[in-house]
Amino acid sequence: LYFSAQEGILYFYHIKDLQYEMKICTEILQPISSLIFSPDYTVLLLVTDQGTVYTYKPAHGEEAVKLLDPCSSCFLAADFLTPGNKYCVSVTISGEVQVWFLEDGTCLSKINLDIEVHVT
């Protein structure tokens, strides 16, 4: 079980029967608003309250890597494009939808919906 609290720390709970072990995976110092696993569960996208997007690879136990910084508008949500885990899609509060290459954070395409977006 992966989860985050307001302080921006990603935790992992290993639960077996009635026993559990908690481990701190990475710390990004920004409150994390959402966690999204890739379809093959090798990469975890972390979206912060400030709109920054990070990637974290649980099997490697490395630090989270900043992928996207909010530019003119805050990233509201992000998810993987399937099949695979090479690309993600994000949406900003201002309604801009973008497709990103995860390896280096290159923006491959974007479209503006011309509406304000909200998450429910």
Per-residue pLDDT, 62: 79
Q: Which residues of the chain have pLDDT under 70?
A: 70-73, 120
All structural domains of the chain:
2-112 (2.130.10.10)
Largest CA distance in the chain: 51
This prediction's pTM: 0.74
Per-residue pLDDT, 87: 92
Per-residue pLDDT, 111: 93
Per-residue pLDDT, 82: 84
Angstrom distance (rounded) from CA 41 to CA 1: 12
Per-residue pLDDT, 116: 86
Sheet arrangement for strand 96-101: 75-80, 87-92, 96-101, 106-112
The pair of three-digit structure tokens given for residue 85, joined into one six-digit string: 């885990």
